[in-house]
Amino acid sequence: MNKSQHRAQTSWYVTVLCLFSMFTWWISGKTNGNLPTSIPNLIVETKKCLTSSTHNKEQFFIFSGGKEAASMLNDVACNNKVINKQFGSVKSFWHINDSHTLQIIGKGIADLALVKENIMSALKSEETHGYTKIASYPKYQAYLIARKERPVLTKNYFLDKRIALLNYPTSRSGHIIPVQIFTELGLSLEKLDIVYARSHKEMRTLLYSGDVDIISSYWQAEDEALFSTNYRVPISSPVSGSSWYIKLTNRNDDLLCASQSMLLQLSTGQSQNYYKSLNLIPFAHCNMAKTIPELNQ
């Protein structure tokens, strides 16, 4: 075999080898094409900070009801002396839906959590993980609120109305209760002109600006400056507010009292009167005087 023939044969072998490698890679990609490149994170992290105890690897997990409150509480926790002594970092998360709540509370992941009492009771997390209720928000009533007229609870009335609901399926006044009302009236959400807002405050802005005709929310004293009490219609009996729970696997009284202090600080920084009306559960060793005003319904 001469040199030219040898080079040609070698080149042919290399070509076949490359084609075989490409074919193997292609088959591999087809076989594993349905595998996710990463596992989706079911918990939405809003904020993380490090405490002064840089050597401490323990994290303090907060599960809250919204990005703004979670971020604010994260800052408060990172500046708390007890948290700085006992933990190396603070992570804050916020609600997406009830399935996330079930995972986080059911598995005892959160150290400080804002949870509906019925969910906590159903999961028996107080007995299983040592959650203790330390504060709660007052009962409230859900209303349909309009700007220029009193809403009428009939099927035909809602067909030509722009309605704002909260984009959180776990919100009772902003989502669950109005959806139940529409269902009882024989209305599907697909047939209604619905605008989904990120917060109760945003719904009020949409109503005041005329971008929607009706919102579903609770009523607070400051609403009287913008809307008429004559143009609100109750759509539920008073429902209990969510409660704050601290996970205590031992008698960590300092952490319990510090958590109440942080929640008290959070409440004073809230813009809406309802979230200022936090009721602290009395604990003798905390000596925490309740200084938050009651909600005026």
User: Which domains are seen in the chain, by residue range?
Assistant: 45-137+241-280 (3.40.190.10), 143-234 (3.40.190.10)
Query: For 2-28, what is the mean pLDDT?
Result: 43
- Between 229 and 242, whose confidence is greater? 229
Residue 1: the pLDDT is 52
- Tens of pLDDT, residue by residue over 117-148, are 888 888 888 888 999 999 999 888 999 999 99
Instruction: Kindly tell me if the per-residue pLDDT of 214 is higher than 80.
Output: yes
- Between 79 and 40, whose confidence is greater? 79
- Between 196 and 171, whose confidence is greater? 196
Regarding pTM above 0.95, the answer is no
Least confident of 83-87, 141-145, 196-200: 196-200
- Tens of pLDDT, residue by residue over 87-122, are 999 999 876 566 777 888 888 999 999 988 888 888
Query: For 243-256, what is the mean pLDDT?
Result: 91
3-state secondary structure the chain: CCHHHHHHHHHHHHHHHHHHHHHHHHHHHHHCCCCCCCCCCCCCEEEEEECCCCCCCCEEEEEECCHHHHHHHHHHHHCCHHHHHHCCEEEEEECCCHHHHHHHHHCCCCCEEEECHHHHHHHCHHHHHCEEEEEECCCECCEEEECCCCCCCCHHHHHCCEEEEECCCCCHHHHHHHHHHHHHCCCCHHHCEEEEECCHHHHHHHHHCCCCCEEEECCCHHHHHCCCHHHEEECCCCECCCEEEEECCCCCHHHHHHHHHHHHHHHHCCCCHHHHCCEECCCCCCCCCCCCCCCCC
Question: How confident is the prediction for the chain on average, in pLDDT?
Answer: 82
